[in-house]
Structure 1
């Protein structure tokens, strides 16, 4: 977030978070470390299940809140991993009738937001962040003006979904539409696998992207049931490049080709997002006939 002060983190917490503070945290995460710690200390297997259940059900914020564990084990886990069961500190929360927004901070000081939306028909959707900041520099995006601090780890993405701030309410769907470009995070596929462990169907997950064609291709190949939203914002290459600099490397037409094949093979819908910017993307303009016909042809195959 812009203009947010990051308080100094004690050295012990910095050291504990040194791995997840790397630009691309490794796939081995907190749950794996917890399991290894319990095994090394001779704890029975059901102790890990008790921790995992408390985490996924959003019942506990700290190890000391997992009352199914003996006090000695809670103390040992706190000493080894710090007090928090979820590796995110809640900095602030705003609540309204249909929406809740939470600002989280990692032990290394990286900050990002998640937003839970409640709809009139009774279902909920959680918008999660994949990065602290973003390095793509889209000119319409406030996060892009901040720049990229680092990718979020699998635990930090997963932690947004199961955090007790939502008071044990599991979202009906999750959208990667918060801070950051999800496909630029090399841990995205690992995060999607972790979300399945919470019982969330891939069909209930949406990944939004401005268009990293090779990684979009990998996502649609390995996770064909995940819903994809491609940010278009302009069908004109020159104008889109002004809004989304990545257009110069991975043109819209290349990304639409990926989605065209995806909807045919998976029989899943894909979505195209268009931002109306007064005096820019709202101005009338006739595209060249060859480019226009190609764009419209692909858009028809990918639209809802």
Structure 2
């Protein structure tokens, strides 16, 4: 197998998405307003409408002069994503939306409402170039990177649905965002970090979310993991490991031919040490592939090879640096990969917990509408 390049580049020649205020900092929005011959405070008004009031109808922006409203909205709030279809599960509290981007590319996002939180699972690329054979998204290849604003708009759209009472449970707010939709987030690094900054910046520059409520997933782009650790944004890093040994991981996660298990786990540990944030290890449970008891022991050996990290409370206490999320594999039609037996998953989890590795089984919410992990494969059919 030929090693994959660090970043798989989308096909060239595609037009870029139109500039949107979510692509810019507040200061950059104010400069853009001046370039259009408009007062800088108009940019702040538009930002308030978008990030605080969650308004998408220009007629509701009554503090903007009617004569300039169309120009302002066209210049700062171009339409980036259009809903094609929304499927619901769990009595309407799980909603998967298929979006068409400005160039007809298709992506999906998922809103999941729980009693104590609302999580948005967002896409960062149209398609994915990582080619993991058990993942539906990876089978379609990479079309293009998404812009910062296209990523943010998925979250804002979910926030609007909650604010308008369209999700059972009454009005609410998005508390968590996971970059676990379509694409490899760290292969679209600049846009993803820009989106994280928009999500966490105080209103009206952004949505004002806590960085601790945001999880960025990766299959293991080691230089980008190290770069993210230095950004000063304490998001949770989720490493999709899926195998504790190079021989199997080379098959399941082809980027492993570039960065070994040892290199990848070491980078994740360095991230935990630098940010004081515990790393999540994602491990999809595949029947007779990676779910053997001896592989649980090997995974424990790999993860226990690194010490605990300070917990951020002045270093007085120390905590385990990692938590393992075992994910019952979600079915992909025609795939040779199937879900592990319940007994094998239980034993795998028991062995990890017995070795001091905090381990839980992932909720497979949304699997009946192909909205669970590994099932997103945007399709307009």
Structure 2 length normalisation: TM-score?
A: 0.66
Structure 2: stretches of 5+ with no match in the other structure: 1-13, 164-171, 202-206, 308-319, 324-357, 359-381
Which residue of 2 is the match for residue 115 of structure 1?
A: 110
- After TM superposition, give the deviation of residue 136 of structure 1 in Å: 0.8
- After TM superposition, give the deviation of residue 91 of structure 1 in Å: 1.7
Give yes or no for the alignment of 1:99 onto 2:102. no
- After TM superposition, give the deviation of residue 281 of structure 1 in Å: 1.4
Which residue of 2 is the match for residue 14 of structure 1?
A: none
Equivalent of 1:195 in 192, 196, 199: 199
**Structure 1 segment 33-44 matched on structure 2, within 5 A:** 35-36=30-31, 38-44=33-39
Give yes or no for the alignment of 1:302 onto 2:299. no
Give yes or no for the alignment of 1:68 onto 2:72. no
Structure 1: stretches of 5+ with no match in the other structure: 1-16
Q: Which has the higher helix share?
A: 1
- After TM superposition, give the deviation of residue 233 of structure 1 in Å: 0.9
Number of matched pairs: 281
Deviates more, 1:244-253 or 1:54-63: 54-63
Equivalent of 2:17 in 13, 20, 25: 20
Equivalent of 2:265 in 256, 266, 269: 256
Q: Matches of 1:27 and 1:66 in 2, distance apart?
A: 15
Q: Matches of 1:294 and 1:78 in 2, distance apart?
A: 52
Per the alignment, do residues 86 and 52 of structure 1 end up closer, same or farther by CA in structure 2, a change over 3 Å counting?
A: farther
Q: Matches of 1:109 and 1:266 in 2, distance apart?
A: 38
Q: Matches of 1:302 and 1:287 in 2, distance apart?
A: 15
Per the alignment, do residues 207 and 256 of structure 1 end up closer, same or farther by CA in structure 2, a change over 3 Å counting?
A: same
Is the 1:220–1:226 contact (alpha carbons within 8 Å) kept by the matching residues of 2?
Answer: no
- After TM superposition, give the deviation of residue 87 of structure 1 in Å: 2.0
**Structure 1 segment 136-175 matched on structure 2, within 5 A:** 136-163=130-157, 165-168=160-163, 169-175=172-178
Cα RMSD after superposing both structures? 3.1
Is the 1:128–1:175 contact (alpha carbons within 8 Å) kept by the matching residues of 2?
Answer: yes
Q: Matches of 1:267 and 1:41 in 2, distance apart?
A: 44
Structure 1 length normalisation: TM-score?
A: 0.81
